[in-house]
Amino acid sequence: MAQSYNFLAADVVSANQRGAVTPEQRTALQLALTIEFSTLAMALIVGVSVLAIVAVSGSDPSVGLSPSVVWACFGPVMVGYVGLIGWRARRLLLVRAEMNAGKIARGDGTYRLEGKVYVARAGDRKLHPPGRLNLSPGIYRFYFLERSGWVISGEVGVELDEMDLLKALALANHFDLGMLAANRAGVLAEGQARAVYRRILQQAGAVAVTSGALALTISVLVILAVPGYAGVLIPIGLGLSVAGVVLASQIGPKFAAIWRDVRAGQVALVEGTGQKLHTSRSIQAYTFHSYHYQIGDLKFPVTYMGYSTLVEGWRYRLYYLPESKVITAIEPLPRKSEQ
C-alpha cells in the first residue's frame, strides 16, 4: 500500500509535533490496520486448519500412530502458532491505542538501502511504515508512534553522500558498480546486454498481463454475444490476436531499437541536474502511471523504485543506449563539481 498523504507536509509534521494525528494520517493508519488484521485473521484460520487436519489425519488408526504422540507433537506447534498471531495482533492494538492517545515520539535517523530494501531508522531503532514511503534516501527527523515504532511523518535533514546514493541508484536501475568503468569509456560492459534484455522482457511481461486481461474481456463479451461452440473458438482466437498485436506494438519497436544498440555496443552520456517526472492517465476505473528522469533536455523512462531513489537538484552523469534511450548506469557527481 502506497502512502496516501504527504509524509513531509509542514501541516502534518506540525500536528505530530503537538502530539496530534491529522485526519489523513488517521485514515491511512486505520486502513493499514484493517489490512494487517485481515491478513492475520486469514493466517490464523488457514494455519490452524492445516495443523488440525494434519493432527486428525495422523491420529487415524490406519496411520499406525498413537493419538497422544500425534497431539503431543502438533499441539504445541498449534499453540505456538496461535500465540505468534496473538502477539502480532497485540502489536496492532498497541498502534491503535497510541494513535488515539497521541503518543508520538521523534528521532533523527536515516532512510537508506539495507540489502535490497529501504529501511527507516531513528538511531539504531528500525521503524515500521504503515505503507510504502515516497522518500529519497537521506537523513530525516522522523515522527513515530512511541512504542510500536510506526513512522507517520518526517522532516528532511542532510542528504546521503555520493557513494550511498550511487549504491541506491545501482540497485534501483539494475546495474552493477563494476559496469561503470566500461560505460565511462563509452562501451557496454560484459554481461550488460543480458541485463538490458532481461529488463525489457520484464516490461514485456507486464504488457502481456495487461493485454491478456483485455483479450479475456473481449472473449467474455463475444461468448455472451455468440452462443454455441463457435462462440468459444472465435473469442479465443480474437483475444490471442489482440494480445499479440498489443504486445508487438508496445514492445516490438523498443526491442528492435535495443537490439541495434547492443549490436553497436556504444554508450552515450549526458550530464546535468536531475529532475523527476511523474505523469498519470486514467481510463475509466484504471490509472496508469509513468515515471521518468530528466537530465538536461533528455527524458528516460524508469520504474517507480528508480523514480523514488533519485535525489532532485543533484548533478548526475547518466549513461544510456543512444537509440532506445535505455539507461545503462547513472552516477551522482561530487558536490564540488558544481563550484
- Of 8-22, 155-169, 277-291, least confident by mean pLDDT is 277-291
Q: Residue 279: enclosing H or E segment and its boundaries?
A: strand 268-283
Joined grid coordinates for residue 132: 510504502
Q: For residue 228, give the DSSP letter.
A: S
Of residues 238 and 276, more confidence is placed in: 276
Asked if the model's pLDDT at residue 96 lies above 90, the reply is no
- pLDDT, one tens digit per residue, over 247-303 is 566 666 777 888 888 888 899 999 999 999 888 777 655 567 788 999 988 999 888
Question: 338: pLDDT confidence band, cut at 50, 70 and 90?
Answer: very low
pLDDT at 339: 42
SS3 159: coil
pLDDT at 246: 60
Domain boundaries, given as residue ranges, for the chain: 10-156, 162-188+266-339, 191-264
Asked if the model's pLDDT at residue 91 lies above 50, the reply is yes
Cell 489523513 identifies what position? Answer: 24
Cα–Cα–Cα angle for 234, 240, 242, rounded to 5 degrees: 100
pLDDT at 211: 57
pLDDT at 1: 46
Average pLDDT of every residue of the chain: 78
Secondary-structure class of domain 162-188+266-339 per CATH: mainly beta
Alpha helices, H only, 226-284: 230-264
Of residues 186 and 192, more confidence is placed in: 186
- Spatial CA neighbour of 44 closest among 89, 92, 4, 104: 89
Burial class for 153, CB neighbours closer than 10 Å (0-12, 13-18, 19+): buried
Alpha carbon distances (Å) from 230 to 101, 196, 220, 225, 239: 64, 43, 13, 11, 14
Question: 183: pLDDT confidence band, cut at 50, 70 and 90?
Answer: very high
The predicted model scores a pTM of 0.54
